[in-house]
Amino acid sequence: MRLIISSVSGEPIYEQIKTQIRSAVLSGELEAGEALPSLRKLAKELRVSVLTITRAYSELADEGVVRNIQGKGTFVMPKGNDVMKAQLARRVRKGLGDVVAAAKAAGIPPAELHAILDETYATQDAAGDRDGR
Same domain, 53 and 100: no
Over range 8-17, report the average pLDDT.
94
CA distance 128 to 6: 31
**Angle in degrees, CA 68, 70, 73, rounded to 5:** 55
Same domain, 88 and 59: no
At 132, the pLDDT band (50, 70, 90 cuts) reads very low
Dihedral sign for Cα atoms in the order 93, 97, 102, 107: positive
**Angle in degrees, CA 115, 95, 76, rounded to 5:** 120
Tell me the whole-structure pTM to 2 decimals. Answer: 0.67
Same domain, 17 and 70: yes
Over range 25-34, report the average pLDDT.
89
Same domain, 66 and 90: no
Strands (E), 14-86: 66-69, 73-76
Q: What is the CATH number of the domain that holds 62?
A: 1.10.10.10
Its domain, for residue 62, covers: 13-76
Residue 21, pLDDT above cutoff 70: yes
Over range 5-11, report the average pLDDT.
91
CA distance 48 to 14: 9
Q: Which of 84, 71, 7, 62 is nearest to 38 (CA)?
A: 71
In a domain, 5, yes or no: no
**Number of folded domains that form the chain:** 2
